[in-house]
């Protein structure tokens, strides 16, 4: 299904059911409802929308001093591979730069193809967090790649 990302808006309690369903369809280890409630309470949870107000995905952040940490960026399965995540990243980076944040941080599974997307949008690898993510059907853990982007340099 084709869609074009147009804007983001604050996530609210009416979005949670859709967000949880999308999260479960997207990840082996989905966030709990409490994780989204906390992000909403902090005012850093957003819904990605198209011009017709269709929900395309969501993003959650954590603010720490002059840094903004991308905790979760997810595009709904029906709307993937259309550039929505990249467009959203650009708009969020501009938004947070205008809000006086200097740096955006994230961590991503070493196996996650989104790492290439982040690099394309100015994120650099800062290090590895060993055994950060659980793996399905095993007691093993997967490493996380720590990445960051100076917002002023990527504007």
pTM score: 0.91
Sort 140 into a burial class: Cβ within 10 Å, 0-12 / 13-18 / 19+.
Answer: exposed
- Can you list the domains of the chain with their CATH numbers? 7-154 (3.40.630.30)
**pLDDT attached to residue 44:** 93
Task: Give the Cα-Cα-Cα angle 53, 88, 126 (nearest 5 degrees).
Answer: 155
Low-confidence ranges of the chain (pLDDT < 70): 154-155
pLDDT tens, residue by residue, 128-144: 999 999 888 788 999 99
Tens-place pLDDT, residues 92-108? 999 999 988 999 999 99
Q: Which residues are catalytic?
A: 107, 118
DSSP bridge pairs for 108: 145
């Amino acid at each position: 299904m084709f869609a074009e990302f147009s804007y983001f808006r604050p996530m609210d309690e009416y979005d949670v059911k859709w967000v949880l369903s999308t999260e479960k369809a997207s990840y082996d280890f989905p966030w709990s409802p409490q994780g989204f409630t906390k992000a909403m309470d902090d005012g850093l949870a957003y819904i990605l929308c198209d011009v017709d107000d269709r929900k395309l995905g969501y993003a959650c952040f954590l603010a720490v001093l002059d840094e903004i940490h991308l905790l979760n960026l997810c595009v709904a399965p029906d709307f993937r591979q259309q550039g929505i995540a990249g467009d959203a990243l650009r708009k969020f980076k501009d938004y947070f730069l205008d809000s006086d944040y200097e740096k955006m941080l994230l961590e991503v599974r070493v196996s996650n193809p989104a790492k290439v997307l982040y690099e394309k949008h100015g994120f650099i690898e800062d290090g590895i967090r060993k055994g950060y993510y659980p793996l399905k059907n095993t007691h093993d853990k997967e490493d996380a790649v720590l990445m960051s982007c100076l917002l002023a340099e990527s504007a």
